[in-house]
Amino acid sequence: MTESPPPPVGAERPTLKTIAAATGLAIATVSRALKDAPDIGEETKRRVRETALRLGYRQNRAAVRLRTGKTNVIALLLSTESDVMNHTSKLLYSIADALRGTAYHLVVMPFFRDQDPMDPVRYIVETESADGIILNQTKPDDPRIRYMTEHHIPFATHGRTDMGLDHPYFDYDNESYGRLAVQALAERNRRHVYMIAPPRNHMYARHMIMGASQEAAARGMRFELADDITSDSSADAIEIDIACRFASNPPDAIISGSTTGAIAAVAGAERNGLHIGQDFDIAAKEAIRLLHRFRKEMIVVQEDVARAGNFLARAVMAAIEGRAADQGQALEVPQATDFRTGN
């Protein structure tokens, strides 16, 4: 539920019975409305939630766990290397927004570069500290997904796998992104593409590299993959790499897998006196509209991370409650017309 104001000091703590009396509904109806039960009408849910908020009702989480064995917590596992400025902040907000007015609360658990990504998953499962898990940056053969499947933990992933396991996911078609980015650069008569791809052990990196490299080969363009950086590298590292690579015989096109990477890449090229739109072009994707405010010449496509977060939240709630999701898997596919400059 959305946070509500606490009752005045000394006042009796509001209960389901208090809400029922204020709304004229049965206690069972109030309880089911607060749980977002599908058999309760949206108008009734809205009235119950507004009354609960006005009265300062807060669910006793310890009592719920004792009674049902549930925590009403969904854990979002995020790498600290994610594009926090753009992609991750939008994903976090959209998941939290989808959980507003439901019985569930969101807990964010970060994991670090020097940490085994399995650690937070094992912790949640072993301590039973969440009812379900959402994670991103999936790998083709992801041990986290195998572990959750084996332990029957409800989950949904932002990204696909190549494991032969059927599970809820939302993904962006990065193969199409790579292919269409090369097409957009070719339309500007660019011939040598330098890609700042995601870490290569991630599934979406495989898709992005495949789409871009195959399209470049089909068009007779040179394709070069950055070796020492990824789109998850720091902005400083990306800027230095681009500045060094573009110092002599520079490529005339860049594809970035992240918003931060795109900004840093432009800064690196400009350190050598190169001008975007003249000496080189860059294609990038973003979740929050920012890049055209930085350089209007950039070729940008919007990734609908808000849709992804909403989908994942609803998919994992359905899995927790043992009901069929409206849609268990979804893929956002960019189109050529989505690639625009700010001119």
Q: pLDDT for 258-284, tens place per residue?
A: 999 999 999 999 999 999 999 999 999
- Identify the CA nearest to 231 among candidates 332, 335, 88, 343: 88
What is the spatial distance between Cα 95 and Cα 106, in angstroms, rounded to a whole number? 8
Helix (H) or strand (E) holding 194: strand 192-196
Quick one: pLDDT at residue 14? 83
| 76 three-class SS | strand
Quick one: pLDDT at residue 31? 82
> Per this entry, what is the length of the chain?
343
Amino acid of residue 305: V
Beta strand pairing call for 169-172 and 192-196: unpaired
Q: Would you write out the chain's pLDDT as a tens digit for each of its 343 residues?
A: 444 455 554 457 788 888 899 999 998 888 888 877 778 888 898 888 888 878 877 766 555 554 556 888 999 998 876 565 568 888 989 999 999 878 899 999 888 878 898 999 999 999 888 999 999 999 999 999 999 999 999 999 999 999 998 899 999 999 999 999 999 999 999 999 999 999 999 999 999 999 999 999 999 999 999 999 999 999 999 999 999 999 999 999 999 999 999 999 999 999 999 999 999 999 999 999 999 999 999 999 999 999 999 999 999 999 998 887 777 899 999 999 999 998 7
Give the C-alpha distances (Å, rounded to integers) separating 220 from 112, 213, 234, 337: 40, 10, 32, 23
Give ∠ CA 67-72-74 in degrees, rounded to 5.
150
What residue has token string 């007015």?
101
- Provide φ and ψ at 287, rounded to 5°: -100, -35
Quick one: pLDDT at residue 82? 59
| 166 three-class SS | coil
Handedness of CA 7, 11, 15, 19 (dihedral sign): negative
Structure tokens at 153: 């933990």
What residue has token string 């363009």?
221
Quick one: pLDDT at residue 74? 96
CB of 309 closer than 8 Å to CB of 95: yes
What residue has token string 């994903």?
91
Residue 58, judged by CB atoms within 10 A of its CB (0-12, 13-18, 19+), counts as middle
What is residue 340's DSSP assignment?
B
- Provide φ and ψ at 154, rounded to 5°: -60, 135
Quick one: pLDDT at residue 9? 45
| 146 three-class SS | helix
Neighbours of 132 (CB within 10 A): 25
- Identify the CA nearest to 314 among candidates 36, 30, 2, 82: 36
Contact residues for 29 (Cβ-Cβ < 8 A; gap 6+): 20, 40, 44, 48
Strands of 112-244 (E only): list them.
Answer: 132-136, 155-158, 169-172, 192-196, 222-225
Give this prediction's pTM. 0.80
